[in-house]
Structure 1
Amino acid sequence: MSISQAILRHVPYLRRFARALSGSREGGDAYVLATLETAVADPSRLVADEDLKISLYRLFLEIWTSSPINDHTDTSGDEAGARRNLDAISLQPRIAFLLHALEGFSLGEIARALSVSEARAAALIDTASSEIAGQLATDVLIIEDEPLIALDLRGLVEELGHKVVAVARTHKEAVETISRTPPGLILADIQLADGSSGLEAVNEILGSLSTPVIFVTAYPERFLTGEPPEPAFLIAKPFSVDSLKAIISQALFFDRRSHLKYNDKHK
């Protein structure tokens, strides 16, 4: 297998990580592209005697953290809201937590990706967990046709301090639900019981409501195509508590309205 083929195997997952970290498909993909261009121009940036995946993620993080916009909050408008929400969890702990919860990195792998000790990596994850636990609660709509998965999602969402306002099994039920109780977050399966698409249901909902959406699918790589309509946030089945926590937190970090709700609630 050539080096380019080996790198391509990791690209869908690096893109998932990038968009979770940056808060958008476009922003995440721009940094992934910059990482790939750098690797092609200077292959020595990928450490030869190290796991290629770790080396690739470390190169991505070097490029991402070198951008001034990723380490300050002097912005305005909607972007300012997003940056303020990011302040709710420190940068390095957030990166470490995503590597652990979303990408399944071990402590040793996180340490190598961040060029820190394993003890430091463990401390970063602990810090992130504590900071995430202090985040705002919101109303959640679950769009899921499998009862056991819907039950698991409800339990995990409520464990995180959020309120499930409804569980919809079909496109029609989902649209009817938001007319009664607009949610602050949507968790949606991609294939629904009536044969309709969760993507289509969410697109209709977003025509009248602005809220972050997390799609649940057994095949995330099928939807990481780089072409719209592509989900910004994806979680793979089967999912873990940590993965769900990581994605929910990232989705809410980049939602300006959630930040404003939190301020109103805690004045």
Structure 2
Amino acid sequence: MRLRGVRRSVRVEDRRRGGGGGATRIGGVGLLIVLAIGYFAGIDVMPLIDDARGAAVPRELTRAEEQAGTFAARVLATTEEVWSEVLPDQVGIAYAPPILVLFAGVTPSPCGTASGATGPFYCPADEKAYLDTEFFAVLEQRLDAGGDLAAAYVIAHEVAHHIQNELGILGAVASRRAEVGEAEANALTVRLELQADCLAGIWAGRVRGMLDPGDLEEALNAARQIGDDTLQARAGRVPQPHTFTHGTSEQRARWFATGYRSGVIEDCDTFTVREP
């Protein structure tokens, strides 16, 4: 993905230097692995994290962290350009972009502690997306989902949740989830996540002029690698569809591709189709 010369968004809040950002003595990648194990194994690992957490000490960012921050800020800027055009054109509302919070390890949010347990995190209460930039390394090294567009897709997906919030979809789904059982609530969340994948695909289609050969396949591969069935199998579990909260690998890649090809928000309606 060609981002050289692209402006950096000013809507980035960088907490990675410590001093209140929730730094932890566990390394970023190590923390993500611990949290992921706890998530998929159903084990409460927070006591381990609490024991390891120390006072946040201001520090200098590594070169890799600086580069990840620049990359994230530039990708965020492209989402601002895209949605500032798409939302008024297609649904008649102005776009109010979210803030992207960069953190290392864990950090507080109004929606609870943001961490790498399930990847990046969007909080509708403060309209901020939370990203541990170490997740880029996890994508490449642990999930076999490397590449610029794969990493950018992660940011675009969280911005898509903000779009859903702007459209009132997040609130409607949250209300419905509170009225149904766990299996149906999970199914609703799957539809929500697949719609976010489709909206991320719309973004990718709008920036296709910045893409290099192979970039699209990188994003589709990332979508496949973070499907619930693939992640559960990777964790040594037999995939359990009733526990899925993000969709299968096939679903995630298909809905991203749908948004990429169509470019139309209406075509990302995952809630009215019988089987998403």
- Asked if Structure 1 and Structure 2 have the same fold, meaning a TM-score greater than 0.5 normalized by the shorter chain, the answer is no
- The structure in which a higher percent of residues are helix is 1
TM-score w.r.t. length of structure 1: 0.29
Rg larger in structure = 1
TM-score normalised per structure 2: 0.28
